[in-house]
Structure 1
Amino acid sequence: MVTHEFSRESRLLTPEHFSNVFKNPSRFGSSHFTILVTQNENNINRLGLAIAKKRVKLAVQRNRVKRIIRESYRLNQHKLPHIDMVVMVKSGIDQLENQQIEQQLAYIWRKIKRRQPK
């Protein structure tokens, strides 16, 4: 059964989790995203967000972008291989509509699925 939940186990929580991804990642990107990916030993996918104030000035916009990323991940996580990933954004993402952000994320999820082994 496929569950569409985003539980505590589905998140990168500690600095150690994040540093493991930053050590030797595969990079996936679009015009407004960079996603760093590493294989993990767990049988789940885990998501971490690194949305810098330098890139998205207003907290309202940062939170909107985070919400959209989490929701997109939640709906697509069962299609992805067992990986840890950190999503970073590039400047100008706060100018995009929600639908444009979702389209870019959908494109990246497809790229990850094609390139990463199950």
Structure 2
Amino acid sequence: MTVRYTFPRSHRLGGRNTFKAVRDRGVRESRGPLTLWAVRNDLGHHRLGISIGRHVGTAVKRNRIKRLLRESFRLMQHDIPGGYDIVIAVRRHEPMILAEYQKLLMAMLLKAHARLSRETSDASPHTGHRP
């Protein structure tokens, strides 16, 4: 099976209520100018939403950062197991190169995945023996 590196509309989060739900229920990870919230979904694929306010800079700067973040996510979405709804909030910074965003996102996503996996296993009933 070939891996498709696409980012269709169905893989995007939209709407204020959806973003709020992820921020309220999700685990939070921060690295550099980025903060990520992630919560499990039952879709079998990840969905991404980016929140970037006017305080970050001009429209040109904000759009460049969003494009780089989406591209970073698109290239590595298949390296993260599970299906998550992900919201990324951006603080003021100068735009970085693609590889730097990929490194930040991968570190945050792997940490969030580990935390969510641990929470899921902690919530499962304890049987008293190891598998």
Question: What TM-score, normalized by structure 1, do the two folds share?
Answer: 0.84
- Residues 1:97 and 2:102 aligned together: no
Equivalent residue, structure 1, for 2:13: 12
Provide the C-alpha distance between the structure 2 equivalents of 1:57 and 1:36, rounded to a whole number of angstroms.
22
1:85 matched residue in structure 2:
86
The corresponding residue for 2:124 is: none
The TM-score with structure 2 as length reference comes to 0.77
Query: Relative to 1, partners in 2 of residues 1:78 and 1:49: Cα closer, same or farther, differing over 3 Å?
Result: same
Q: Is the counterpart of residue 65 in structure 1 residue 65 in structure 2?
A: yes
CA distance in 1, matches of 2:16, 2:67: 21
Q: Deviations over 1:3-34 (max 9, x none)?
A: 11000110002233212202211001102110
Distance 2:84 2:39 in 1: 6
Q: CA RMSD in A?
A: 1.9
CA contact (8 A) 1:39 1:83 kept: yes
% same residue: 30
Letter in 2 for 1:103: K
- Runs of 4+ off more than 6 Å: none
3-state SS, counterpart of residue 28 of structure 1: strand
Q: Tell me, which stretches of 5 or more residues in structure 1 are unaligned?
A: none
Tell me the CA shift for residue 113 of structure 1.
4.1
Q: Which has the larger radius of gyration?
A: 2
Distance 1:73 1:102 in 2: 7
C-alpha contact 2:28 2:112 (8 A) present in aligned 1: no
1:35-56 Cα offsets, whole Å, 9 max, x none, are 01111122111000101112x1
2:28 and 2:87 mapped to 1: Cα distance? 10
Q: Kindly state the Cα deviation for residue 79 of structure 1 after the two structures are TM-superposed.
A: 1.8
Q: Is the 2:37–2:88 contact (alpha carbons within 8 Å) kept by the matching residues of 1?
A: yes
